[in-house]
Chains A and B, each alone.
Chain A
Amino acid sequence: MNAVEPAAGAGPIETDVVIIGAGPCGLFAVFELGLLDLKCHVVDILGKPGGQCSELYPEKPIYDVPALPIVTGQELTDRLLEQIKPFNPVFHFGERIDALAREPDGRFIMTTDDAKQFRAKVVVIAAGGGSFTPKRPPLDGIEAYEGTSVFYSVRRMEDFRGKDVLVVGGGDSALDWTLNLQPLARSLTLLHRRDDFRGAPHSVNEMRRLVDEGKVRLMIGQMTGLDGDAGTLQTVTVKTAGGEEKIVIDAMLPFFGLTMKLGPIADWGINLNENLIPVDTEKFETSEKGIFAIGDINTYPGKLKLILSGFHEAALMAQAAQKIVYPDKKVVFQYTTSSSSLQKKLGVK
């Protein structure tokens, strides 16, 4: 890992621990670290906490979380948030940690895709299967148009003013951007494979009203190909019940959900093994001292990608993290049931 000069200017956010990833393991790490007086900031590219549990299966039941015979992905997330509340973690949602480097004094400096910086004594990578990233439609040559004509998110609505826009998909993102961009765009086409939408009922109604008024063109079909010139998309070929049609557009916004990609972690100088981070099973520390990895992202002999394993890893990691932040503090093992000092921290005494 490269050493960097301390950042100048307004200065980074200073904290004991930065947790990368707000999945169940990142959330529970706040609890274990909090019991040992370590303050945490938690960063996640998603707009909400819960990682896979809230993004991929909020309504589905989990049966193997100890003492909870049945709990849905969202309920587990909500309960973890309740459990860690006494420790006041600071969340930074919708931001990805892009860079991580060690400073000369041994602390770490991290930078997000929004140029926000953090300085911490300990880093906990709880990144699961990696950053959630939009799924790319498997159409030949699509990469060439990304960022110029194909967009997976909207940074500035103004960029779409006066454009012929194609929105593809049938969920809330597709509907929301149809409703938001229609007033600005020169024309707006919404393409979905069936005449049934998963989005919120009022958005569906609003979209249907715009279609009836002739302000939005609704097409039922699927994309089969793209044509363009030097990075600029010109036509999208769409297969409908009536056959193939080429539609002329300036911008396309495909919304086919999210998938996990390792992302920037590969560039941080940490040893990786097939996109996983090898750790020891005493402290769950990576090849870099002070950087820990817990949950789905780590690997060691016997590793199971289960929530309960990640919880155990968080508890052991926290003991080692405390020794880094408070090297001189004598560690006394305590139970939450009986320790009045732990209970005070939890706000129950």
Chain B
Amino acid sequence: MVKITFIQPDGTAQTVTAEEGLTVMEAAKMADVPGIDAECGGACACATCHVYVDAGWREKTGAPSDMEEDMLDFAFDVREESRLCCQIKVTAALDGLVLRVPAKQF
């Protein structure tokens, strides 16, 4: 099991255990992480699973694909460290990953 920590805008941290092969969004939904709405169920069609990848982890999570970049146009306060977490696959290499939930989603 891979551990992933979500930090809310107010600083509260929640660590969830995720099964390899799932997406980070699925792991967040199963643990009811607030602020990850994921309205489209992971189809990269809604941008309501927007997260900021903590410094130090960005190389491991990689850059968004073209499709994900297009979808990020529909997110609010997009930064260099922005990702749609339904597009991040849980792998052993991500054990300890830290993600920040944005203050506002569309």
Q: Which residues of A contact B (CB under 8 A)?
A: 56-57, 60, 135-138, 169-171, 192-194, 196, 198, 222, 224, 256-257, 259
Contact = CB atoms under 8 A, between A and B. Distances in A.
Interface of B: 39-40, 43, 45-46, 69-70, 72-74, 76-78, 104-106
A304 to B, nearest CB: 13
Contact of B73 (A57, A138, A169): A169
20 contacts: A56-B40, A56-B45, A57-B45, A135-B74, A135-B106, A136-B106, A137-B76, A137-B106, A138-B76, A170-B73, A171-B73, A193-B73, A193-B78, A196-B69, A198-B73, A222-B77, A222-B78, A224-B77, A256-B106, A259-B106
A302 B45 CA distance: 26
Contacts of A257: 74
By secondary structure, the B interface counts as loop
Contacts of A193: 72-73, 78
Given A193-B72, A193-B73, 19 more contacts: A56-B43, A56-B45, A57-B40, A57-B43, A60-B45, A137-B76, A138-B76, A138-B104, A170-B73, A192-B73, A193-B78, A194-B69, A194-B73, A198-B70, A222-B76, A222-B77, A222-B78, A257-B74, A259-B39
A222 B46 CA distance: 19
Contacts of A171: 73
A60 B43 contact: yes
Task: Report which residue of A57, A170, A193, A259 has the largest number of chain B beta carbons within 10 angstroms of its beta carbon.
Answer: A193
A171 B76 CA distance: 15
A170 B47 CA distance: 15
Nearest to A56: B45
Contacts of B39: 259
A198 B78 CA distance: 16
